[in-house]
Amino acid sequence: MRQTQPDPSEFPGQPRWATWTAERSVQFKAHASISHVKISLNGRASGPTRSHVVNGVNVYEAPLEESWVYEWVVDDLGEGWVERFHINVGDFKSSHPLWLFKEKPRQVRPVSQEALDQTIASIQEAMGASQ
């Protein structure tokens, strides 16, 4: 079925998360979710692995590279990237707070009445100029 009007709730979201990793050729990467961040950073550094038990199973993990995790924030102070996590070289994910963090969905902000009024005024002005 063909839509005749866009539905912004179905548009893809802007990247909320980003990583910057010191030892990679592409240091900055944007990510749609915190899960993508964790996958991107998962055990890439060289060095001795360690094991620990998860649900009765022995799991081996590699150390992590030095990385930073940023979140795109829009608030009363403006908008921009805010550092949320720093990973030191050699940290392990099983003991780092990032892997305990659970992402909460953002609330969608309704369009303000001021923005609606400005849009209506610009349409009326354009229509008046074309007559």
Longest Cα–Cα distance of the chain, Å, equals 76
| Interval 23-46: pLDDT, tens | 888 889 999 899 999 999 886 667
- Using the predicted structure, report yes or no on whether residue 60 has a pLDDT greater than 70: yes
Q: Which amino acid is at 13?
A: G
User: CA dihedral in degrees (91, 18, 111, 1; nearest 10)?
Assistant: -110
| Interval 103-127: pLDDT, tens | 887 766 666 778 778 888 888 888 7
Q: What is the pLDDT of residue 130?
A: 62
Q: Report percent pLDDT > 70 for the chain.
A: 88
Residue ranges per structural domain of the chain: 8-130
